[in-house]
Every structure is written in C-alpha cells, then in structure tokens.
C-alpha cells in the first residue's frame, strides 16, 4: 500500500498509509481500537476502494481490476474473520468444503479427503458433523481457519484472531498461525491489538495511529521505540497521546450548567 | 421548507425504486446459474412453500367458510343460493387466494427470508463469501428469490382448493345448498381465464414479495436493530405493494 487515503462520511481513517508485506513472513498490523486495522484488511481484500493512493496485491493494482479480476485474486487469499463467519446452515465439514465445491470440480471422494486433512490440521476432524452453533469461539475460529486454508492460499489474513479466547484456545490459534506460515511461500497478515501474542510470532509489524503508520519494524524494535504514541500502546498506558477522556466541554462548567 | 421536504421525499422514493430495480436485474441474471443448482433451489422452495403450508391451509379453510356464510346470506336475499358455488369460486380464485396468500407469505416466509439474510450480513457470512470469491447474490439471494416465486402460486392454488372445501362445508353441509347445484354451477361459470387470472396474480405477488424480502435482508444494517427494522419493512412494503398490484392487475384483466 502506498500513500493510501480513506475516509468514511468525511471522517478520515487513513491519511497517507504506507504498508509493505513481504512474501513468506508474518506481518502484524497493530493499533488501538478504531484506528482502521480492519479497514486496512478490507482495502487489501478489495471489499472497499481507497480514495487516494495505491493498493497492490500480488503486484496487481486493485483499482485497475475488474470484478472478475478481484475474484481471481481473492481465490489466492484466505481470510480468518474475527467471529469465524461460518455459514450457519451448514455443518463443519460442509463449511470447509464450501470453497472447494464452489471453485473446483473435484470428485466427492477427493473433497472428503481434502476436508478431513484440513480439519486434522486444526485438530477438529472429530467435529466434522457439528453445526456452527455447537462450537465454542475457539473451535469456530479453527474451523474458519481450516476453511481459509482449504484451497492452499498464498496469503493468509487474520482479523483479530485472539479476541475473546481463553488462554488455551489462544495458545492453539497462535501455534496454528505460526505453523501455517511454515509452508513454503505462505504470507501471513495478522491484525490485532494483542501486543504480547503478536510479539511471539510476527517477523515484522506496523503500528497504526492517527490515520498513519506510527512505527514499523520487528516487535522488539517497536517496544524499544522512544515515541510516546508507540510506548503508550506497547505498555498499555491509560493516558498519553491517545487521551483517556473523549473530547468534552469544561467539566466544572458543565456540572454548574446542569445544576441550573 | 415543506416544498423542499416533499422534493426530498420524492427523490428518496425514486432513488429506492431505482436501487430495487437494479437489484432485481442483477438478481434475475443470477437466477440463471441458480437454476443449475436444483438441490439448493428445492431446499428454498421447501423453506418458503412447505413451511408455510399449515398457515395457508388453515387460513384457506376459514376464509372459505366465512365466504360461504356471507355469500349464502347475501344470495339468499335474492333467492339465488344456487349461485353460491360460483360466487365462492370466483371470489377465491380471482381475489382472495392470491391476495391473502401473498399477505400470509410476507408475514411467514418473507420475514424469515429477510431476517435470515440480514443475520448472515450481520455475522459477516456474506462478507466471508465475497472474500472467498463466491458471489452471495448468486449463492444466497437468487435461490431464495426463486424459491419464493415458485412457492407462491403453488400456495395460492392450495389456498383456493381448501377455501372451496370450506365454502362447500358451510354452504352445502350447514346451510343446505344442494351439493350437485353447488359444484355444477361452479363448473359452468368458472372459466380457464378466471384460474389464469389468479395464477398470474400470485406469480406477480411472488416476484414482488420475494424481491422485497431478499432486498431488505441483503441491505439490512448489520445490527440487531437493523435486522428488526428490515423485517418490519418487508411486511409493510410487501402488504402495500400486493394490494396496489392487485388493483392494477384486476383492472388489466377486466
């Protein structure tokens, strides 16, 4: 991404963001809530278009692609949604088989084997017959991961993969992200605000703040940064460049006005 | 000020109509590949049609019984009770079956369609399909739309049959109209064009109600409140459009 500007209803989300994701590495996109981390993923997957600037995926300019071209590009990506986004009218097996059935003409026997292999990789082969409503949050995310990798994508995108998970599920997801990236040529983009978890797996990271990239580099380098914004985020301070108080009129004046 | 408000209202109405029309064209284009997936289509006909059967049959029976009672009472004043079969058949086939079926369809299947698609939107299922390079319009909206269009005339026919049985139950069994006269009068004066009118109406209502339900669900705000509002809009819009279209079609068939 180069010089990307994006605004919603006149409110700027990005004001000149530059992000480069290298092949075969795990890149973390971090930042406080509301800084546009998920918006960045939407730009990469062409769900939305940048107002200005350039977004290139696999070397192709997304703005120049037709709908068919974008769909062809998306077939080379796999995305894990925050809540899993499993199709609720299908069981686990059919959810994982869904992209295969849609995009290939593989015989049923081969689809069966392929899906079981992917479910085995996320440890949920035994849950193939369960419906999404019967899964825990961590299990749903693992099924969604199996679905994301079923067509062996070149890029795996994770949107807040650690949110709301218990320590065991979190450890499992962390291990899986690391494991998935070990396949040759796989590139991973992880969007999250869980600094500690990301530090254990990310090769490179970007910290978004105020519509720009506030810092970039390996997580250890970010932790050593002397920037106040970076330090506030990395240490989790309540006050700093991102203020504790939402902008408001003078406190005392407002209290007196209320009395009157 | 009022003038400006009025203009805004009209403009918004035109904008919405345009948006729905474009959506319908895209939906119709996606219906062709959807026809190639009979399993998906049959599932949606079952959802929209078979699951509405009980309410349609019960309503048909009661509407037929009321029609039998009212028509008998009216015809008796003119000494023409033997025309009860004709009155019931024409009333049901041409008007009551298509209209009431459409209203019930909007309340039962239409709301289910809107809330289902709306919740799919709210839980990122439609976005997930998009990112998997699967067009949700083709996979989710088109089969549901087609299912509704196919189910509506079938439901209306079932409504008519049960309604006629209800009218016969009251007219013949309860009020004592001769059974032979009841059926022969009906057979003699109801033509194919009367049946066609009812079927065409229910087909048009099927397109309108299914389109509204799918459109509202597809464009629902991805929140609990948004899905609730979309469901309400489905019932209100479907009911009003059904009654409006009924007048237009009745005038066209006269």
The complex's ipTM works out to 0.83
Instruction: Tell me: pLDDT of B118 over 70.
Output: yes
Q: How far apart are CA A165 and CA A174, in angstroms?
A: 11
Q: How far apart are CA A107 and CA A160, in angstroms?
A: 35
CA angle A18, A19, A20 (to 5 degrees): 130
CATH of the domain at A39: 3.40.50.300
Give me the pLDDT at residue A140, please.
Answer: 92
Give me the pLDDT at residue A109, please.
Answer: 94
Residues 6+ apart with CB under 8 A from B250: B94, B95
Contacts of B143 in chain A (CB under 8 A): none
Give the model confidence (pLDDT) of B174-210 as tens digits.
999 999 999 999 999 999 999 999 999 999 999 999 9
The verdict on a CB contact (< 8 Å) between A79 and B128 is yes
Q: Is the dihedral of CA A98, A104, A108, A109 positive or negative?
A: negative
User: What are the φ and ψ backbone dihedral angles of A247, each rounded to 5 degrees?
Assistant: -50, 130
pTM score, two decimals? 0.83
Interface of B with A in 101-140 (CB under 8 A): 119-120, 123-125, 127-135, 139
Give the model confidence (pLDDT) of A49-71 as tens digits.
999 999 999 888 998 999 899 99
The verdict on a CB contact (< 8 Å) between A98 and B134 is yes
pLDDT band for position B131 (50/70/90)? Answer: very high
SS (H, E, C) A153-186: CCEEEEECCCCCCCHHHHHHHHHHHHHHCCCCCC
Contacts of A152 in chain B (CB under 8 A): none
Closest in A71, A85, A86 to B133, CB measured: A71
Q: Find the residue in B nearest to A41 (Cα).
A: B131
Q: Over chain B, what is the mean pLDDT?
A: 92
Q: How far apart are CA B22 and CA B34, in angstroms?
A: 18
Determine which of A4-8, A239-243, B12-16, B145-149 has the lowest per-residue pLDDT on average: A239-243
User: What are the φ and ψ backbone dihedral angles of A136, each rounded to 5 degrees?
Assistant: -75, 170
Give me the pLDDT at residue B82, please.
Answer: 87
Closest in B120, B130, B134 to A47, CB measured: B130
Expressed as residue numbers, the domain containing A65 is 2-76+153-227
Cβ proximity of A28 and A216 under 8 Å: no
Helix (H, G, I), strand (E, B) or coil at A62: helix
Give the model confidence (pLDDT) of A187-197 as tens digits.
999 998 877 78
Q: Is the dihedral of CA A236, A240, A242, A245 positive or negative?
A: positive
One DSSP character per residue, A184-228 reads TT-EEEEE-S-HHHHHHH-SEEEEEETTEEEEEE-HHHHHT---H
CA angle A105, A94, A181 (to 5 degrees): 80
Q: Cα–Cα distances in Å, from A25 out to A179, A186, A201, B40?
A: 12, 7, 10, 40
pLDDT band for position A113 (50/70/90)? Answer: very high
Instruction: Tell me: pLDDT of B1 over 60.
Output: no
| Tokens encoding A171 | 């450890």
Give the model confidence (pLDDT) of B68-97 as tens digits.
999 999 999 998 888 999 999 999 999 999
Q: How far apart are CA B105 and CA B48, in angstroms?
A: 8
The verdict on a CB contact (< 8 Å) between B125 and A47 is no
- Mean of pLDDT values over B242-248: 96
The verdict on a CB contact (< 8 Å) between B128 and A45 is no
Give me the pLDDT at residue A126, please.
Answer: 92
pLDDT band for position A258 (50/70/90)? Answer: low
Number of domains making up chain A: 1
Give me the pLDDT at residue A125, please.
Answer: 93
Give me the pLDDT at residue B109, please.
Answer: 94
Contacts of B144 in chain A (CB under 8 A): none
Instruction: Tell me: pLDDT of B172 over 70.
Output: yes
Instruction: Fill in the DSSP letter of residue A112.
Output: H
Measure CA B98 to chain center: 7
Contacts of A147 in chain B (CB under 8 A): 132
The verdict on a CB contact (< 8 Å) between B123 and A98 is no
Give the model confidence (pLDDT) of A12-56 as tens digits.
888 888 999 988 889 999 887 778 888 999 999 999 999 999 999
The verdict on a CB contact (< 8 Å) between A87 and B132 is no
Which stretches within chain B are classed as H helix?
2-35, 38-48, 53-77, 84-90, 97-105, 111-122, 125-131, 136, 142-168, 179-189, 192-218, 224-253
Note whether residue A45 is domain-resident: yes
Q: How far apart are CA A240 and CA A231, in angstroms?
A: 9
Note whether residue A52 is domain-resident: yes
Contacts of B227 in chain A (CB under 8 A): none
Give me the pLDDT at residue B252, please.
Answer: 93
- Mean of pLDDT values over A214-226: 80
């Amino acid at each position: 991404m180069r010089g990307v500007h994006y605004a919603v209803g006149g409110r700027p989300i990005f004001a000149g963001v530059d992000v480069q994701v290298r092949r075969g590495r795990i890149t973390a996109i971090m930042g406080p809530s509301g800084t546009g981390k998920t918006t960045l993923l939407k730009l990469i997957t062409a769900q939305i278009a940048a107002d200005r600037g350039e977004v290139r995926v696999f070397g192709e300019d997304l703005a120049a692609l037709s709908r068919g071209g974008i769909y062809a590009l998306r077939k080379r990506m796999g995305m894990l949604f925050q809540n899993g986004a499993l199709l609720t009218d299908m069981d686990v097996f059919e959810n994982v088989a869904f992209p295969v059935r849609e995009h290939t003409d593989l015989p049923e026997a081969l689809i069966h084997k392929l899906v079981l292999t992917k479910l085995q990789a996320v440890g949920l082969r035994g849950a193939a017959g369960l419906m999404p409503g019967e899964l825990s949050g961590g299990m749903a995310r693992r099924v969604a991961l199996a679905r994301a990798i079923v067509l062996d994508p070149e890029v795996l995108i994770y949107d807040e993969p650690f949110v709301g998970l218990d320590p065991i599920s979190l450890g499992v997801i962390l291990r899986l992200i690391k494991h998935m990236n070990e396949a040759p040529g796989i590139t991973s983009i992880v969007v999250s605000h869980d600094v500690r978890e990301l530090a254990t797996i990310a090769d490179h990271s970007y910290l978004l703040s105020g519509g720009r990239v506030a810092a970039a580099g390996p997580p250890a380098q970010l932790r050593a940064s002397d920037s106040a914004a970076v330090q506030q985020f990395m240490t989790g301070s309540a006050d700093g460049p991102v203020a504790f108080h939402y902008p408001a009129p003078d406190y005392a004046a407002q209290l007196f006005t209320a009395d009157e | 000020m009022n003038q400006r408000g009025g203009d805004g209202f009209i403009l918004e109405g035109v904008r919405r109509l345009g948006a729905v029309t474009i959506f319908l064209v895209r939906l119709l284009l996606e219906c062709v590949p959807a026809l190639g997936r009979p399993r998906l289509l049959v599932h949606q006909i079952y959802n929209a049609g078979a699951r509405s059967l009980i309410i349609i049959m019960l309503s048909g029976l009661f509407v037929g019984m009321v029609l039998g009672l009212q028509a008998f009472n009216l015809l008796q004043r003119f000494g023409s009770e033997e025309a009860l079969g004709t009155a019931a058949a024409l009333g049901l086939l041409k008007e009551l079956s298509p209209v009431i079926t459409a209203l019930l369809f909007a309340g039962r299947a239409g709301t289910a369609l809107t809330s289902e698609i709306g919740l799919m939107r709210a839980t990122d299922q439609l976005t997930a399909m998009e990112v998997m390079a699967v067009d949700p319009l083709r996979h989710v909206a088109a089969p549901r739309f087609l299912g509704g269009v196919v189910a509506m005339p079938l439901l209306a026919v079932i409504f008519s049959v049960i309604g006629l049985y209800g009218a016969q139950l009251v007219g013949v069994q309860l009020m004592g109209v001769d059974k032979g006269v009841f059926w022969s009068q009906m057979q003699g004066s109801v033509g194919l064009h009367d049946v066609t009118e009812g079927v065409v109406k229910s087909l048009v209502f099927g397109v309108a109600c299914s389109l509204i339900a799918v459109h509202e669900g597809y464009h629902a705000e991805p929140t609990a409140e948004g899905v609730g509002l979309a469901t309400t809009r489905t019932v209100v819009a479907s009911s009003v459009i059904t009654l409006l279209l009924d007048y237009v079609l009745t005038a066209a068939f006269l």
